[in-house]
């Protein structure tokens, strides 16, 4: 067994989650490898220390406080994104401005187009031979 594989199995070993064959192979590796053996001792110490800690009861109103914070947080987030959601009046203003711009562009094209056509016709008439 390699050290990388042994390290992955150490917590399972401490938690008694390995098969008998896996335990035998891991213990043989730990007997030969001081680094993995020290890692195993360290994890066993951490596990026993954490197991000795007393449980702490959460306050009775913890859920209420969390839900209130979530509600306040979502209200703040809605304000942050309100710029991306225009009101009906803002949409109407955009539509009116876009329409007036489009009408202006169309009128300009018609007038300029008439001038261009007129100039083109005059040039063509000048090229025609006089009879």
Question: In the chain, where are the structural domains located?
Answer: 3-52, 86-131
3-state SS of 62-115 is HHHHHHHHHHHHHHHHHHHCHHHCCCHHHHHHHHHHHHHHHHHHHHHHHHHHHH
Q: Which of 31, 50, 39 is nearest to 10 (CA)?
A: 39
- Give the tens place of pLDDT for each residue, 35-55: 999 999 999 998 888 888 888
Please give the share of the chain, as a percent, with pLDDT higher than 90. Answer: 41
pTM for the whole structure = 0.43
What is the rounded radius of gyration, in angstroms, for the C-alpha atoms of the chain? Answer: 41
């Amino acid at each position: 067994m390699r050290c990388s594989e042994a390290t992955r199995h150490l917590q399972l070993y401490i938690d008694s989650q390995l098969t008998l064959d896996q335990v035998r192979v891991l213990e043989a590796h730990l007997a030969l490898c001081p680094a993995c053996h020290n890692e195993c001792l360290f994890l066993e110490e951490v596990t026993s220390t954490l197991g000795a800690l007393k449980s702490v009861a959460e306050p009775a109103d913890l859920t209420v406080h969390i839900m209130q914070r979530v509600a306040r947080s979502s209200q703040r987030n809605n304000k942050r994104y309100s710029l991306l959601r225009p009101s009906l009046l803002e949409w109407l203003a955009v539509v009116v401005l876009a329409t007036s711009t489009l009408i202006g562009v169309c009128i300009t094209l018609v007038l300029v187009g008439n001038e261009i056509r007129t100039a083109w016709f005059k040039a063509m008439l000048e090229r025609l031979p006089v009879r």
